[in-house]
Amino acid sequence: MFKTINSLFVTMFGIGKLPRIPGSYASLITVIVLYILFHILSISVDKFLFFLGAIFIISIFSVNLFIKDLTNKDPKEVVIDEFIGQSIPICLYEIAHNEPSNPARTLTFYFIMFILFRIFDIAKPYPVSYYDRNFKNSFGVIMDDVCAGLYVVAILVFYMIITT
């Protein structure tokens, strides 16, 4: 039973088992869920960040258990790392724009963050590639997506600087 619950967690309730591009599906679902949480249900970003921190810590252990007996230490079905990495720029965007917003503008930025995150997660520029290549464990699986999310943050900060 625990193994089943762990599998559901690391695959985001089976999203990771979808064919072809499970990481993109997981990122897209994350974007949709976060938009609903922040803009429809009005969940505080602070509360979500606490939840995200807990997910990060639990993921280190859960992914490690999931990949323990596998030869591929970064299987495509593990997509909880996409949830964590995609959540980082969205949360920081919400913190920076803590005011009533134009839904069209917010959705545009969410879409841009989704596309940028997928580009950085797939292209794996340094240090994303460093974690991907050098840590064949749960830490590497998660940290490459954290770095990809931080690249998105850097691009958005640069954009905000040049447009103000």
Could you list the residue range(s) of the whole structural domain that residue 127 is in? Answer: 2-11+19-163
pLDDT at 144 over 90: yes
Q: What is the pLDDT of residues 38-68, one digit of tens each?
A: 999 999 999 999 999 999 999 999 999 998 8
- The Cα–Cα gap between 64 and 56 comes to 12
Domain tally, the chain = 1
- Of 21, 22, 19, 3, which Cα lies nearest the Cα of 11? 22
Share of the chain above pLDDT 90, in %: 73
pLDDT at 72 over 90: no
Question: What count of Cα atoms within 13 Å lies in the side-chain half-sphere of residue 103?
Answer: 6
Confidence of residue 131 (pLDDT cuts 50, 70, 90): confident
Q: Would you state the structure tokens that stand for residue 1, as one six-digit string?
A: 């039973």
Q: What predicted TM-score, i.e. pTM, was given to this entire model?
A: 0.93
- The Cα–Cα gap between 131 and 81 comes to 13
